[in-house]
């Protein structure tokens, strides 16, 4: 897919290259679900989906779980309209229910600098869940600013900005079924 976006009057060329196909993602999500089904046997985990990026992962993952799961949503923001992190984490939408005595499994799209999940986990732990684990579809370990290792991980990827399967750039591309590297190129000046 190719596109152009006006920025300051200049058309920035964007192109997409598939990094992980829908088939690769489906196979990996299957295996993650198997692992979660085993680990949470006889439990009723509360899946906490981090909006908006993780919605597609959540909906695929939860349909493969054979456990009596509950779901809730949180929205946090650490990014403006740029591809680099600001380091500031704000809770834009909090959980509907209390998590005390629940086995909480946070479902996230990607761990990048680690700032978001590091902050979120500290915040959730203060609410005294019975247990707290994190499932992230993607991880970009090269970009880490704070130590963070997800308990369940789909794919570790190199340092590229990726979109699709829920992930966006400036709210675009979330609907793509594959995970793609977004390449942006400013027009060449002569």
Binding-site ranges for Mg ion (CB under 5 A) = 53, 109
Asked if 176 is part of the footprint of ligand IMP (rule: CB under 6 A), the reply reads no
Q: Report the distance separating Cα 4 and Cα 15, nearest Å.
A: 9
Residues 6+ apart with CB under 8 A from 136: 108, 109, 110, 111, 117, 150, 152, 153, 154
Residue with the two structure tokens 């509360």: 46
- Calculate Rg over the CA atoms of the chain: 17
Compute the least distance from the CB of residue 176 to ligand IMP, in Å.
12
Asked if 103 is part of the footprint of ligand IMP (rule: CB under 6 A), the reply reads no
85 binds, among ligand IMP, Mg ion, none (CB under 5 to 8 A by kind): ligand IMP
Q: Name the one range near ligand IMP by CB under 6 A: 37-45, 66-74, 123-131, 157-165.
A: 157-165
Q: Out of 3, 18, 85, 155, which residue is the one contacting ligand IMP (CB under 6 A)?
A: 85
Residues 6+ apart with CB under 8 A from 87: 78, 113, 115, 145
Residues 6+ apart with CB under 8 A from 96: 72, 73
Catalytic (active site) residue 112: yes
Compute the least distance from the CB of residue 187 to Mg ion, in Å.
30
Asked if 123 is part of the footprint of ligand IMP (rule: CB under 6 A), the reply reads no
Q: Name the one range near ligand IMP by CB under 6 A: 6-14, 31-39, 125-133, 162-170.
A: 162-170
């Amino acid at each position: 897919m190719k596109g152009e976006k006006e920025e300051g009057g200049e058309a920035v060329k964007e192109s997409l290259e598939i990094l992980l196909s829908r088939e690769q993602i489906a196979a990996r999500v299957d295996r993650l679900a198997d692992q979660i089904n085993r680990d949470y046997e006889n439990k009723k985990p509360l899946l906490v989906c981090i909006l908006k990026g993780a919605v597609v992962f959540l909906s695929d993952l939860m349909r493969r779980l054979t456990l009596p799961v509950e779901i809730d949503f949180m929205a946090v923001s650490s990014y403006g309209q740029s591809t680099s992190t600001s380091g500031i984490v704000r809770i834009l939408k909090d959980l509907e229910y209390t998590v005390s005595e629940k086995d909480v499994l946070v479902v996230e799209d990607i761990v990048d600098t680690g700032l978001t999940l590091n902050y979120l986990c500290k915040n959730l732990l203060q609410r005294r869940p019975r247990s707290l684990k994190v499932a992230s579809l993607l991880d970009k370990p090269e970009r880490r600013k704070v130590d963070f290792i997800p308990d369940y991980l789909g794919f570790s990827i190199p340092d590229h900005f990726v979109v699709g399967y829920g992930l966006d750039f400036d709210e675009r591309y979330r609907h793509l079924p594959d995970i793609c590297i977004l390449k942006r190129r400013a027009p060449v000046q002569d």
